[in-house]
Structure 1
Amino acid sequence: MSTTTDLLPPDGTPQVALVTGARGGIGRAVVAQLRAQGHRVAAVGRDADRLAEVQAHAHIAADTTTPEGAAAAVAECWSTLGGAPTLLAHCVGSTLIAPLHRSEPPQLRELLRVNLESALFMLQAWIEPLRGAGRPGAAVLVSSVVARVGVANHEAIAAAKGGVEALVRGAAATYASLGLRINAVAPGMTATPLTAGMLGAPALREGAARQAPLGGVQSAEEVAEAICWLLSSRAARVTGQVLPVDGGFTAVRPVVK
């Protein structure tokens, strides 16, 4: 049987990339951009039939909110594309917009399962075959602006994404000596299927656009570009960081007119 090192692509060749949440707006855009860069990309999602719509080199049906599902996704990527994934974009996520006093315990547990537990299990599964392989890798998780600045009625998702950001910093410190870089992006309001209901009415979209100092509502492709940059060799000196992609929402206060 081949070793982990045998199955990793040699230097100078396209890498194997694993993208979870690949049916979502950001995940789908990441898959497209990584493919355009010449990488071999495995798209991961829970629904095999709907996942087939995504243009990828491999389609893997797995529930990455469980340790078994996350490990299975990495193993199937390995066997299908001929190498352990050295690039990981974990784009699984959900949201809950409600004050804490109106949030039921099952809702809170589900939110933590999808957003925080999936990040823990997926990162753990990705790291395992790369340990000791002598080859660098890069992973990007997805946080949110609400983990970085207080936004009313977002307590639960802020807590979950805050955990993701802490995970990024801790894991980056642990695995830096192995050449594994681990970062995150923290998007602001982004036009995706998940936010379609919030942005559907013109008045709601205009209100969201006014929240960002740069104006407008960003696209999934713009967030994906930041993710792919963090995965690339151009970000070779970047690890343990959370990059806001939010039009200046968390850092800049526009002039009030």
Structure 2
Amino acid sequence: MSESHPPAPVALVTGARGGIGRAVVERLRRRGLRVAAVGREAAGLADLGAEAAIAADTTTPEGAAAAVAACRAQLGEPPALLAHCVGSTLIAPLHRSTPAQVREVLRVNLDSGLFTLQAWIEALRAAGRPGAAVLVSSVVARIGVANHEAIAAAKGGLEALVRSAAATYAGAGLRVNAVAPGMTDTPMTAGLLRVDAVREAAGRQVPLGGVQRADAVADAIDWLLSDGAARLTGQVIAVDGGFTTVRPLVR
């Protein structure tokens, strides 16, 4: 008689079309998880090879709930793991940021994180299951960087959300953490980094040097979602080459 094995755990990856999201999907699938990839358009997710491709707008409570519900419907259970990689940026001083721009940054970064985390928590509490979630913040929420006021406010709120949710749901076996990447080479930053002078200047500000790839951030997210990080919750891990904690040695 052949031995039956339980199905692999399910992971939900939002913002899966982005540079970090794609790298996270690849890593989770590499270690045998069943992955539901979420983006605003399912067609853009076809090349990820995920077990489920879900079109949803996670910046609304209805969209976030729909993403979690679709994951459960297509893969048979709610996602035990969540990697929320939705995000945008705005590089502009506050006096040159319009109300519409500020609201958009808050909607994409803070609203999506809050509503997605809420939907995920509700699904796992209803199922009585433990789980782990990782949200993506930014170094600009941890150290003052000029001309980033709106995105710093949004990501700062996201980090506060992570700490509070970690405290509230630890007893239910739910871990909630975040990563805070520094400048990362992704499609979102491609416009900036295609200018050699900008890339070189950004790299000089990092103690470990250079501009990091999305793989570096995805590795940290993958680990936080693994059993190796079973004792971590309420943490924000800076993946930034030392940018927020130490200064590069000037030679």
TM-score where L is the length of structure 2? 0.96
| Corresponding position of 1:5 | none
| Corresponding position of 1:105 | 99
| Corresponding position of 2:57 | 63
What letter is aligned with 2:181?
P
Deviation at 1:12, TM superposition (A): 6.7
| Structure 1 stretches lacking a partner, 5+ long | 1-10
Q: Which runs of 4+ in 1 moved over 6 A?
A: none
Deviation at 1:135, TM superposition (A): 2.5
- Give % identity: 74
Given the superposition, is the C-alpha separation of residues 53 and 13 from structure 1 closer, same or farther in structure 2, using an over 3 Å criterion? closer
| Corresponding position of 2:228 | 234
User: Does residue 17 of the first structure (1) align with residue 11 of the second (2)?
Assistant: yes
What letter is aligned with 2:54?
I
| Corresponding position of 1:93 | 87
| Corresponding position of 1:27 | 21
Q: Hey, what's the Cα distance between the residues in 1 that align with 2:128 and 2:52?
A: 25
| 3-state DSSP of counterpart to 1:53 | helix
- 1:64-79 to 2 correspondence within 5 Å? 64-79=58-73
User: Does residue 169 of the first structure (1) align with residue 163 of the second (2)?
Assistant: yes
Q: Deviations over 1:157-197 (max 9, x none)?
A: 00000000000000000000000000000000000000001
Q: Deviations over 1:216-252 (max 9, x none)?
A: 1111011000001000000000000000000000001
| Corresponding position of 1:152 | 146
Q: Hey, what's the Cα distance between the residues in 2 that align with 1:30 and 1:206?
A: 27
Q: Hey, what's the Cα distance between the residues in 2 that align with 1:252 and 1:238?
A: 23
Deviation at 1:255, TM superposition (A): 1.8
Deviation at 1:67, TM superposition (A): 0.4
Q: Hey, what's the Cα distance between the residues in 1 that align with 2:85 and 2:6?
A: 26
Deviation at 1:13, TM superposition (A): 4.8
Q: Deviations over 1:119-141 (max 9, x none)?
A: 01000000011115343200000
How many corresponding residue pairs?
A: 248
- 1:114-133 to 2 correspondence within 5 Å? 114-131=108-125, 133=127
Deviation at 1:50, TM superposition (A): 1.5
Q: Is the 8 A contact 2:205 2:248 kept in 1?
A: no
User: Does residue 245 of the first structure (1) align with residue 236 of the second (2)?
Assistant: no
Q: Hey, what's the Cα distance between the residues in 1 that align with 2:226 and 2:109?
A: 24
Q: Hey, what's the Cα distance between the residues in 1 that align with 2:67 and 2:195?
A: 38
What letter is aligned with 1:85?
P
| 3-state DSSP of counterpart to 1:244 | strand
| Corresponding position of 1:180 | 174
Deviation at 1:154, TM superposition (A): 0.3
Q: Hey, what's the Cα distance between the residues in 2 that align with 1:18 and 1:132?
A: 17
Deviation at 1:206, TM superposition (A): 1.0
Given the superposition, is the C-alpha separation of residues 153 and 118 from structure 1 closer, same or farther in structure 2, using an over 3 Å criterion? same
Q: Deviations over 1:35-62 (max 9, x none)?
A: 0010000000001222223221110000
Q: Is the 8 A contact 1:144 1:188 kept in 2?
A: yes
| Corresponding position of 1:6 | none
Q: Is the 8 A contact 1:132 1:178 kept in 2?
A: no
| 3-state DSSP of counterpart to 2:223 | helix
Q: Hey, what's the Cα distance between the residues in 1 that align with 2:128 and 2:61?
A: 25
Q: Hey, what's the Cα distance between the residues in 1 that align with 2:13 and 2:50?
A: 10
Q: Hey, what's the Cα distance between the residues in 1 that align with 2:99 and 2:47?
A: 34
